[in-house]
Chains A and B, each alone.
Chain A
Amino acid sequence: MKKLFISSTLLFGIAVTGFWLAAALAPEPVGQRAVAAPADKQYSLQDVAKHATPGDCWMGINGQVYDFTAYLPGHPADPAVIQPWCGKDASEAYRTKTRGRPHSPYADTLLPKYRIGALTAK
Chain B
Amino acid sequence: MKPQRWLPPALCLALPLAGMAWAWPVGLSPWRSVSILSAWAGCGALLASLVLMVRDPRFAAALGGLDSLYRWHHRSGTVGYCLLLIHPLALATDGLDESPQVAWQTLSPLAQDWPEWLGWLGLLLLMAGLASTFMPRLPYRRWRALHYLLGLGVLLGLAHLWAILGGSLGVLGAIGIALAALGWRLVVSDFGALARPYRVSAVRHPATDLVEVTLAPCAAALAATPGQFVLAAFGDGEGFHGCREFHPFTVSGIGPGGVLKLDIKALGPCTRHLQHLTPGVTLRLEGPFGDFLAAAGDGPQLWLAGGIGIAPFLAVLRSRLPAQPTHLIHLFRHADDAGFSDEIQALAAGSPNLSFVPVASGDSPPDIGPLLAAVPGLAGREAWLCGPPGLNAAASRALRRAGVPPEAIHFESFEFRS
Contact = CB atoms under 8 A, between A and B. Distances in A.
Partners in one complex: yes
Interface of A: 1-2, 4-6, 8-9, 11-12, 15-16, 19-20, 22-24, 26, 28-29, 32, 73-74, 76-78, 81, 101-106, 109-110, 113
B28 A23 contact: no
Contacts, number: 94
Contacts of B102: 32, 109-110
Nearest to B166: A78
Contacts of A101: 113-114
Given A15-B89, A23-B103, A104 B164 contact: no
A103 B113 CA distance: 8
A11 B86 CA distance: 10
Interface in B78-93: 78-79, 81-82, 85, 89, 92
Interface residues of B, number: 40
Contacts of A6: 134
Contacts of A76: 164-165
B116 A104 contact: yes
B4 interface: no
13 contacts: A1-B74, A8-B81, A16-B89, A23-B101, A26-B101, A29-B101, A32-B102, A73-B26, A76-B165, A77-B166, A101-B114, A104-B111, A106-B106
Contacts of B130: 5
Contact of B127 (A9, A77, A103, A109): A9
A105 B27 contact: no
B342 interface: no
Interface of B: 25-29, 32, 74-75, 78-79, 81-82, 85, 89, 92, 98-108, 111-116, 127, 130-131, 134, 164-166, 168
B28 A106 contact: no
Overall SS of chain B's interface: helix
B165 A102 contact: no
B106 A29 contact: no
A12 B92 CA distance: 12
B32 A74 contact: yes
B81 A28 contact: no
Nearest to B99: A29
Nearest to B131: A5
